[in-house]
Amino acid sequence: MRNLNKFLIIPYLLWMIIFIIIPVLLLVYFSFIDINGHFSFTNYRQVFSMKYLKMMWDSIFYATLITIITLIISYPAAYFIRSSKFQNIWLLILIIPTWINLLLKTYAFIGILSHEGMINKMLGIMHIDPLNLLFTSGAFLLVASYIYIPFMILPIFNSMKSIPNNLLQASSDLGANTFTTFRKIILPLTKEGIMTGVQVTFIPALSLFMITRLIAGNKVINIGTSIEEQFLVIQNYGMGSTIAIFLIVFMAFILIITKSKETNGRG
C-alpha cells in the first residue's frame, strides 16, 4: 500500500515541478536581467519607484473594494439560500454563470454599458441623455464584483449550512432576538467561510488585466495590467518577471495572514 501511495503522488509532483516550480524559478532568473539582456538589479530598483508603488497601491485599493462589494452582496444572499426550500435551484442558478467563459461575460457587459448599449437605449426611451458608463472605474468595479460573487457566496453558504438548526432554535428559545442570534452565533460560525471567500476574491482581483482593458480602458491600471504590458507590449521580460515575483510574494503574505487568523480563531 505504501509503494502504491508513493507511485500515485508522482503525477502531482511532476505537475508541481513543471507548471509551478520551474516557472517561478524562471521568473526569478529573468528578474535579474535588464531590457538589454545583462545581469542587473535595475528591475528591483525600478519596482520601488513611486510609479510602481502607486500602481501596487491602486491594485490593493481596487481589490479591497471588489472584495467588500462582493461580501456585502454575498453574505445576505448566502443566508437567503440557506433558509430557502429550493437550495439546489438557487445554487444551480449561482453556479451556471461560472461555466461561461470570462471573455464572453466581459463582452456581454460591454453590450450593456456601452454608449449604444441596453442601459442607454432604455434611458433614450425615457428621453434621458445617454451616460458614459463604459471605460470608468465604476464599470470595472461592477463587472469584477459580478464575476467574483459566486466565489464569495459558496464558502459562506457552506459555513452557514453547517450550523445546526437546533442551535438557532435554542437561541430563540432563550430570548435572543434576530440581531443577537446573528452576532453571537451565525457570524462567529461563518468567519472561516468569510475568510475563504476573501481569499478567493481578493487575491485574483489583484491581478485582473482583461477586464481592466476591455471595461475600464486606461482608467484602472493594476498589477495584472502592468505585467501584461511589460511582457506583450514593451517586451521587457525582466521587469515583468520582477513585478510578477512581488505579486506572488504579496499573495503568499495574504494567505499566511489569513491562515494564522484562522488558527488563532480555532485556538
Domain residue extents for the chain: 49-258
Q: Give the pLDDT score at 266.
A: 45
Q: Is the model's pLDDT at 143 over the cut of 90? A: yes
Q: Give the pLDDT score at 17.
A: 94
pLDDT in tens, 169-186: 888 888 888 888 888 888
Torsion over CA: 246, 251, 252, 253 (sign): positive
Q: Give the pLDDT score at 262.
A: 47
| Residue bearing the bigger pLDDT, 89 or 172 | 89
Q: Give the pLDDT score at 260.
A: 45
Q: Which cell is 52 given? A: 510602481
Q: Give the pLDDT score at 1.
A: 59
Mean pLDDT of 212-235: 86
Q: Is the model's pLDDT at 224 over the cut of 90? A: no
Torsion over CA: 59, 254, 262, 153 (sign): positive
| DSSP code at position 37 | S
Q: If we measure between CA atoms, which residue out of 247, 234, 148, 252 comes closest to residue 207?
A: 247
pTM, full prediction: 0.87
Q: Give the pLDDT score at 261.
A: 47
Taking residue 37's Cβ as centre, other Cβ atoms within 10 Å add up to 9
Mean pLDDT of 224-237: 89
Q: Which cell is 215 given? A: 471595461
Q: Is the model's pLDDT at 160 over the cut of 60? A: yes
pLDDT in tens, 96-132: 988 988 889 999 999 999 888 889 999 889 888 888 8
CATH classification number, 49-258, choose in 3.30.300.30, 1.20.120.10, 1.20.1050.10, 1.10.3720.10: 1.10.3720.10
Mean pLDDT over each residue of the chain, to the nearest integer: 88
Q: Is the model's pLDDT at 259 over the cut of 90? A: no
- CB within 8 Å of 255: residues ≥ 6 apart: 199, 203
Q: Give the pLDDT score at 71.
A: 96
CA separation for the pair 187, 181 (Å, rounded) = 9
